[in-house]
Structure 1
Amino acid sequence: MSAASTTAASEAVRLAFVEMLGAERRLRARDQKCGPGELTHGQIRALFTIDVKGEATAGELAKAAELSPASVSTMLDHLERDGIVERRRSESDRRVVVVSLTGEGRELLEHRRAEWRTRWREALADVSDEHLAVAADVMHRMAGILDEL
């Protein structure tokens, strides 16, 4: 591959990455317009974190959802009111409050996960495994660039 085509390809990746970041910002902005009974992007991210870890503190959820601790506290109030999560004192340190999913929360999250898996399969159905592996490598490198900033 020539230097000019490598530069053009790198620029195409950079522009696509900028486009993806913009789409993510627009998704977050739409969270403000979330209707009753719907979950925001931040709530979904927090719930996935709880699901992976089994339980999490409000601080861990704030970091995962990229929200302030005050926002997470309000979010947890709503999720707990709706029966999606429950809070309790940690058995190892009574000063710490941990959050876990309820049965209803687990069902809701699995439903969301199934929806996203369907979207991913449909969007990427015509892309080869080799191309997907290369795309994953590029995305990991882009994440590294952001982490270095």
Structure 2
Amino acid sequence: MPEASEQARAVLAGVHAFAHGIDRYRLAVGTRFGLGVPEVVTLTHLAMAGPARAGEVAERTGLSQGSVTALVDRLERRGLVARLRPRDNRRIVLVELTGAGRELTDGLLAAVLPSMAATAAEPGLPEPADLAHGLHRVADMLVELADRDPAQVTPAG
């Protein structure tokens, strides 16, 4: 059995390849629809998770609050998102997909899901639920590392 560091490097290589594929896909989608990568990230996040506060959009995109305001303004002008205030707390502003935004993101998912399903069905791969669980665990670990003091994330040098 390979030692733990070899296994960890193999997982890291897989995560790196996965992230590269996502980055390339987001760039291609953005180019196709005249959107920047942060706009694509925002739209797909809203499609997967539902309405979100601007702070959550900032966290997902890595943008400042001011930049998120401008991003939401651009998406709103294109009719892809709308701002809403929940009835139970009118101080909160959420960003949600419009019908046009949902149509666009549904199309993006429809383009990806058949390939994902075919890949998940390949012999020798983990069950989709196990794979999803593992991906979420790795993502949570990376977010936890990113949220640490920078001195703890990188080695002293």
Q: TM-score when scaled to structure 1?
A: 0.68
1:121 is the counterpart of 2:114 = no
Kindly report which structure 2 residues correspond to 1:102-121, keeping only aligned pairs within 5 A, or say none: 102-121=98-117
Match of 1:62 in 2: 58
> Do 2:53 and 2:95's aligned partners in 1 also have CA atoms closer than 8 Å?
yes
> Do 1:50 and 1:56's aligned partners in 2 also have CA atoms closer than 8 Å?
yes
The CA deviation string for residues 52-90 of structure 1, in whole angstroms up to 9 with x for no partner, is 554222112222333322222111111111111112344
1:6 is the counterpart of 2:3 = yes
> Do 1:27 and 1:41's aligned partners in 2 also have CA atoms closer than 8 Å?
no
Kindly report which structure 2 residues correspond to 1:1-149, keeping only aligned pairs within 5 A, or say none: 1=1, 5-7=2-4, 8-21=6-19, 23=20, 26-27=23-24, 30=27, 34-35=30-31, 37-128=33-124, 130=126, 135-136=131-132, 138-149=134-145
Aligned-partner residue type, residue 6 of structure 1: E
Aligned identity (percent) is 31
Question: Residue 70 and residue 123 in structure 1: after superposition, are their counterparts in 2 closer, same or farther (change >3 A)?
Answer: farther
RMSD: 3.4
Unaligned 5+ segments in structure 2 are: 146-157
Unaligned 5+ segments in structure 1 are: none
Q: TM-score when scaled to structure 2?
A: 0.66
In 1, Cα distance between the equivalents of 2:140 and 2:46? Answer: 24
> Do 1:28 and 1:41's aligned partners in 2 also have CA atoms closer than 8 Å?
no
